[in-house]
Amino acid sequence: MSSLLSLLAPGTARAQGPAERVAILALGIAVGLGLTAIAFGVYADRRTTLYLFLAAILSVAFLTTTGGPHRPRGSSPFAWVCVAVAWVAALYFVAMAGRHEMRLPIIDSLTTADQLASVALIVLVLEATRRTIGMTLVTLVTLFLAYGFLGHLLEGPFAHRQLALEEIIDHLVFTTNGLFGPPLLVACFLVYVFVLFGAILDRVGGGEFFHRLAEALVGRQVGGPAKVAVISSGMYGSISGSPTADVVTTGSITIPLMIRTGFSRVYAGAVESVASTGGAIMPPVMGTAAFMMSDFTGIAYANIVAAAVAPAIIYYLAIYLAVHFHARRVGLKPTVEGRGESVLVVLRENWLFLVPIGLIVWIVLSVDRPDLSAAVAIAALAVVALIRSRDPKATAQRLRDGLVDALHRSCGVGVACAVAGLVVGTLSMTDLTGKISSMLFALAPGNLLLTLVIAALVTIVLGMGMPTPAVYALAAVLAGPAIVSLGIETLPAHLFIVFFASMSAITPPVAVAAFAAASIANANPMQIGLLACRIGIVAFLLPFAFVYQPGVLMIGDPMTIAIQIAAALAATVALAGAAEAWLGRPLPTVPRLVLTALGVAMIWPVQSVSFSALALFAGIALVLLQKRH
């Protein structure tokens, strides 16, 4: 069993020698400055930029990750060979860009060199995926590719016409629906600049600012360290876009503090995991999946952010209440650890960090240019760093380190988006998307609830170890059309997928956020993942709520919006109380079951059921709070 897990596991961090460090530094500076300039409006051929971006991402994957968890961690000649092949193939495409633009895909034949360069990139992407994400995703992608080659041998609705090797390569590499399609396009021109902003923000003290602000707000309350984890992880996670990076950054501080103040190791890891995972649905940046959603659906990014405000607040309220109820139930006392700073002191010393974040919000809402907002915020952050340090040399060093960090952080996302493009290309080439949609209809003929359940399960399974943007890209193609075809508006249908793509980070067996937290908490990752799902139970119900009650997404008349948001908030309180067995006082099993039923009923699409449950819960809560110990 252990040998099988070893084969499925990704590689480990490679010890970098001088050559690797110089190469990654050069790539980090070139990619960071180049893509930031493009975000500012400097013209560059997008296809050429994608070729070079993919080569850079593949280089980082091979130079920083071993071929397996037990492989030697030193410098590898084979890794350098892979890097060389990636650049030769990418530069070949750059050199031949003029001829490739003039040819008609599928109709004009490919040269032998075209095919060799294409196959080289596909193989390198798969190998980089195996190293950075694991064999599970490679197996999934290989099955899709095998279907493209062998699907004509099948019988029934999933059969397709025979496709020649040249035709498959042409579709996967030379059209806009494959390797260089929307997932990689968004990763390059949108995701990267926000990752760069988050990396530089962290290097110049922004992560510490979020932690201090959260500590000043709630650090000395009952369960204060866990509440600090909830608030700081939400603020930082919206910028970082990576649950794993969020856990490692904020969790290295909050998890040990939670353990010292009375929380169990498993509970501390679970709180940090579920709080960090929510960054992907937290405005104003929403991690990175929202950019891809805007590109896929054509919905303005500002509209997506506005719609996600209430669900994000409800999500973090649920975690906050769960932590508070748990602390009360186990009898934890207010902590005396921490700086004891006031919010005003923290803001007076660090208010400049709010300027770049404010610029992001303002530019996104005013001109709907998220890439420009990130570029302007990066420039403002550089000025803020210089003002704070008053040391140009130290500021330059931090900015340089941020450029390198951004390239490291973008490696997994970039590789995953590239391999997702291969899947999307296979789906479009074989019309497998329509066939899967038909299958969903067959499994749930006209039944919206059953279709949503199946779509949620598909998204979570796809999300085993994958970054949220890549999960969304695949699930949006596979499940999105089936949901929309049942009469659901595009915005709630795709936000439904974004939510479950995010929650896959805490869903066992491959819960990447839970595994990251387990390494800090020194606890069982499976237990952490399961407990994180219980703490974040609202996140698994809320998407169903806003599909049936779009008022939660600010869709509808003001009265409907107010009523549906109020019902969702009340349901959150009920479900958090049921999960933690506390609502003013300890709760035995029967009241917990009643609260669970009421929580679900309050977000039920039938208005009479929702109102009745809301009134009943208000009465029960009043009685419990009046009789609390």
pLDDT single digits (tens) 340-370: 678 888 888 888 998 998 898 888 778 878 8
pLDDT band at 627 (very low <50, low <70, confident <90, very high): low
Question: Quick check: 339 pLDDT over 70?
Answer: no
- Phi then psi dihedrals of residue 13, to 5 deg: -65, 135
Span of 226-240, 540-554, 606-620 with lowest mean pLDDT: 226-240
The pTM for the full model equals 0.82
- Choice between 270 and 232, residue whose per-residue pLDDT is larger: 270
Span of 12-16, 190-194, 430-434, 548-552 with lowest mean pLDDT: 430-434
Give me the mean pLDDT over the 453-473 stretch.
81
CB 547 within 8 A of CB 595: no
Question: Quick check: 4 pLDDT over 50?
Answer: no
Look at residue 7 in the predicted model and tell me its pLDDT. 59
Look at residue 114 in the predicted model and tell me its pLDDT. 94
Would you say the C-alpha torsion 528, 531, 536, 540 has a positive or negative sign?
A: positive
Look at residue 243 in the predicted model and tell me its pLDDT. 81
Look at residue 103 in the predicted model and tell me its pLDDT. 82
Span of 146-155, 221-230, 334-343, 612-621 with lowest mean pLDDT: 334-343
Range of 40-54, 278-292, 447-461 with top mean pLDDT = 40-54
Give me the mean pLDDT over the 76-94 stretch.
95
Give the mean pLDDT of the chain: 86
Listed residue (510, 576, 497, 575) closest to 543, CA to CA = 497
pLDDT band at 335 (very low <50, low <70, confident <90, very high): low
CB atoms within 10 A of CB 165: 12
Look at residue 337 in the predicted model and tell me its pLDDT. 52
Quote the tokens at residue 270.
């679970």
Look at residue 532 in the predicted model and tell me its pLDDT. 93
Contacts 24+ apart (CB under 8 A), 483-488: 483/448, 483/451, 483/452, 483/455, 483/547, 485/437, 486/446, 486/448, 486/451, 487/448, 488/448, 488/547
Look at residue 619 in the predicted model and tell me its pLDDT. 86
Question: Quick check: 629 pLDDT over 50?
Answer: no
Question: Quick check: 1 pLDDT over 80?
Answer: no
pLDDT band at 628 (very low <50, low <70, confident <90, very high): low
pLDDT digits over 93-126, tens only? Answer: 999 988 888 887 777 888 999 999 999 999 999 9
Give me the mean pLDDT over the 42-70 stretch.
92
Question: Quick check: 433 pLDDT over 80?
Answer: no
Look at residue 53 in the predicted model and tell me its pLDDT. 97
Look at residue 170 in the predicted model and tell me its pLDDT. 92
With b for 16 or more beta-carbon neighbours within 10 A and e for fewer, the 278-306 pattern comes to bbbbbbbbbbbbbbbbbbbbebebbbbbb
Would you say the C-alpha torsion 253, 259, 262, 267 has a positive or negative sign?
A: positive
pLDDT band at 256 (very low <50, low <70, confident <90, very high): confident
Look at residue 420 in the predicted model and tell me its pLDDT. 85
Give me the mean pLDDT over the 362-385 stretch.
88
Look at residue 241 in the predicted model and tell me its pLDDT. 64
